[in-house]
Structure 1
Amino acid sequence: MSDTAPLHQLEFRLSYADTDPAGILYYAAWFPWMERLQSEWFWMNGLRQDQLAAEHGFWSVTCHTECDYLVPVGLFDHIRAELRVGRVGRRSFDMLHHLVRTEDQRLVGRGLIRVVTVTPSGESTPIPDLLRRHLDAWVQGHPLPADVSP
């Protein structure tokens, strides 16, 4: 996992819907939070996923996910989700997620979402220049300013 500064982060408190009946994090609960963080960051940078095909001729599609659960967490724990960029290939890239319990700053989980770029008909395509500029800047640790339209 990358040790670079987060590109974006959000904080939330785990709710009953995030846990099992014993109040322990339900294993699948991290995935919606990770995707939410990632979608928000794309949106903040003018890469609205609902408009990519119409405006830029490609979609971004999740093709792989993984998550490591490092420390138990439960109902009402306050979490900071951090987004980083990982490996960038020709047609796909990895978004890395660190999940930190704010009470003790402990890394409690880490995840990866692999995204592939596809044509509107669903065929894999090389990462378009528009997105490549952002990815290259992120990998170098110098994200493009969020208020700059790609």
Structure 2
Amino acid sequence: MRASPSIACSFHPASVRAEWGGIPFNGMKRRACGLRWENQRRAGVSGRADVSSATGTQGSLPVDAGGKAMQMLKSTLFRRVEWGDCDPAGIVFNPQFFRWFDHGTTMLYEATGMPKQEMLAAHGGAGCPLVETKATFRAPCSYGDDVEITSEIVELGTKSFQIRHTLTKDGEVRVEGFETRVWTVHDTERGLRGAPIPEEVAAMFRGES
């Protein structure tokens, strides 16, 4: 079984915790987005790791291509809203949320124990391009707010998967976003084409290996 990290970033204001299956992970040090990610067992930081139990789209449990309910991979980012994130009204400029959600997706790959580029190289993938995205803005976020962004796979299909991003402040949901991404391979005529998600990758997303 592949060990999956519970990790934290030593950089502030943005840090990350990855959660998956209660599996211990020791000694992880990686470079991601220019930062060093370290084992969360260091002093003063909890080393807990959990399987996602959050509900999926429209209140249903996360499902696979056959409609079977699953508990799925998730990761959590902690971020402080900076001055440059905001518009003249002093609230977060809405495209910033999508940038943070994309970062959350990157950390989902990290949470499998195999960063995205390694995963693609190992399984012949060309990328996981975004084919659909949307967001619901429930309340604004302002300069200086400390927010938590939880990203989790809520639906796993044959070629595509859906990710839900939930941004909260003090436990209150401020923004909820969704992404649909497709596993692709190189194609000599079209450049990229959709392909079935390799079973080992799907198992990582399901928390099975």
TM-score range, shorter chain: 0.7 to 0.9
Residue aligning to 1:63: 131
Residue aligning to 2:151: 83
Residue aligning to 2:7: none
Report SS of the residue matched to 2:186: coil
Q: Residue 127 of structure 1: CA displacement?
A: 1.0
Q: Residue 8 of structure 1: CA displacement?
A: 1.4
Which has the greater radius of gyration? 2
Q: Could you tell me the TM-score, scaled by structure 1's length? A: 0.81
Residue aligning to 2:90: 23
Cα RMSD between the aligned structures?
A: 2.0
Q: Percent identity?
A: 20
Q: Could you tell me the TM-score, scaled by structure 2's length? A: 0.60
Q: Which amino acid aligns with 2:173?
A: L
Q: Distance in 1 between matches of 2:84 and 2:186?
A: 34
1:58-111 CA distance string (max 9 Å, x none): 122221111111112111111000112112211101010100012xx2100000
Q: Distance in 1 between matches of 2:106 and 2:120?
A: 15
Q: Distance in 2 between matches of 1:50 and 1:115?
A: 16
Q: Which amino acid aligns with 2:196?
A: P
Aligned 8 A contact 2:75 2:111 in 1: no
Aligned 8 A contact 2:133 2:180 in 1: yes
Residue aligning to 2:121: 54
Gaps of 5+ in 2: 1-54, 62-70
Q: Which one has the bigger helix percentage? A: 1
